[in-house]
Amino acid sequence: MLQLRPYQKQAVDSVFEWFEGSGHNSNPLIVLPTGTGKSLVLSEICRRSIAEYGEMKIVVVTHVMELIKQNHEEMMRQWPEADAGIYSAGIGKRQHKPTVVFCGIQSVHSKAHLFQKVDFVIVDEAHLIPRKTETMYQRFLGSLRVANPHIKIIGLTATPYRMDTGTLHTGDGALFDGICYEYSVLDAIRQGFLSNLVTKNTRVGLNTSGVHTRGGEFIQSELQSAVDIDETNRLAVDEIIEWGSDRRSWLIFGSGVEHCRHLQDHLLRRGIICETIFGDTPKGERAQIIDEFKRGEVQALCSMGVLTTGFNAPNVDLIAMLRPTQSPGLYVQIVGRGMRVAEGKKDCLILDFARNIQRHGPVDVAQTHRGPHVNRVGEGEGALVKTCPECKSVMHLSARQCLDCGYEFPQEIKIVATASVLPVLSTAAPTFWVDVDEVSYTVHNKIGKPTSMKVTYYCGLLKYSEWICLNHEGYAKQKAIAWWRKRSESNRPPDDISEALGRYEELKQPVAIQIKRNGKYDEITNYRFDVLRVPQGESRLSV
């Protein structure tokens, strides 16, 4: 059996803690970044469910054939004796009797009666379930509820929101009731499980000023007409080749089939082996192209969107976005294609010709759209960042030194807003370390909210605070439990704030905390419990 990483084990534990606690009658979401092993977590949830609850029926459903095969194969590696099958017309298998069945929603949406009483439904890529009731997912799940009104639905996703209706667990008709576990992109990068991302400013930017939107997204036909301009394509390809000279595997996202083909033509004329993949590309041809790309025989793949889900190529070290999108989920999925770790891969370069980073913010804190009045970064706003004149890296305005090449910025620098002017990761915001002299723990009451524990760090003449939400439910409580376990040797976290305040002496006190300046607010982003050693290039605040 494969060994789960710590965050994978925590994700699995959180599901069972959710069902055993106050959320036992509701449906949880697990949020794991692309490339952090959702298939393994999914497999372990199935194995442990059957081990703990006895005879069960579990259906794992998704919409992408590659994910069906990938999830089934992962389970058989993790649990070779599993009674597992596949129901997918595209794969050529219609097995509905095994204990665990991996399904394609297109194949089973009208076949719920075959599975009789299902106990758990696990939905991979849960963000693709539409809010509307008359959909394949909703009809399938509705039919399963007729046979078992107490059925539990578990969602897994890297992006817990839709582009037009906000988060998956809020609002009328939401299928899920809360997030039971979330692993952050930055934690995955810091712990070495995901590749770092870097951004370079580009000279070319795509103009979408005349493109209308429908259903929260650019109208595709208008978008392609607006951005598929031969001279723009040529100049963008020039920049891709320039920045990609020392990178081996490029993914290029265009705004339409013809746009992708025109980009491919320019690349081929420049001697770059490039292939295109679309929704109607035959399965055999698609598999062959992807295999050649993974082996390095094809340097660039160009597509609209079929490479955003279920595509696993760790070698990707350059992503060029020439597809503007209003969807934060699609933006995160695109960038996530470059975050897998591979031998010899230092990082993944993001070239944002489409200004998607400006629309949605850094990928680890991409802004969720909650309706038409969402406060987002505008296309013309660039005052919070600057570009290194030596290596063209993009970083926060307050940075004194380039995070990439070490260039020392003069005290004043002119800001020029061109194509993409925001860093792809929020780590480009300024941070510093402060020594901690003392820590206090107090009750914090907020009208209309559960009680929390306020933790205050006294650092010389300054103090910084955070709030630990043990009395909350869902993800907030899971996060609080993880916070406590990191500081206490006890295996049992407190049940509530009252118990926590009675046991505060168990907690290790950090010797230093890391602070990030986010506008006028300070955020605690990291802790050190041993002798403070500030990493090279990080600042330390003396007070």
Domains along the chain with CATH numbers: 6-183 (3.40.50.300), 196-428 (3.40.50.300), 431-540 (no CATH)
Q: Which residue has the higher pLDDT, 300 or 55?
A: 300
CB 86 within 8 A of CB 95: yes
Which CA distances in Å does 6 have to 10, 15, 43, 182, 248? 6, 15, 16, 13, 31
Strand partners, 456: 440, 465
What is the pLDDT, as a whole number, of residue 432? 77
Q: Which residue has the higher pLDDT, 543 or 32?
A: 32
pLDDT digits (tens, 9 = 90+) for 93-126: 999 999 999 999 999 999 999 998 999 999 998 8
What is the pLDDT, as a whole number, of residue 174? 76
Kindly tell me if the per-residue pLDDT of 375 is higher than 60.
no
Q: Which residue has the higher pLDDT, 511 or 64?
A: 511
What is the pLDDT, as a whole number, of residue 219? 94
pTM: predicted TM-score of the whole model, two decimal places: 0.70
Q: Give the model's confidence band at 58: pLDDT under 50 very low, under 70 low, under 90 confident, else very high.
A: very high
What is the pLDDT, as a whole number, of residue 114? 94
What is the pLDDT, as a whole number, of residue 108? 93
Tell me which residue of 350, 354, 358 sits closest to 380, measured CA to CA.
358
User: Mean pLDDT for the chain?
Assistant: 83
CB 80 within 8 A of CB 2: no
Kindly tell me if the per-residue pLDDT of 228 is higher than 70.
yes
Q: Per-residue pLDDT averaged across 307-325, rounded?
A: 89
Q: Per-residue pLDDT averaged across 66-86, rounded?
A: 91
**491: Cβ–Cβ under 8 A, 6 or more apart, which residues?**
none
| DSSP sequence for 273-333 | -EEE--TTS-HHHHHHHHHHHHTTS--EEEESSTTSSS---TT--EEEE----S-HHHHHH
d(CA 341, CA 308): 17
Q: Give the model's confidence band at 231: pLDDT under 50 very low, under 70 low, under 90 confident, else very high.
A: very high
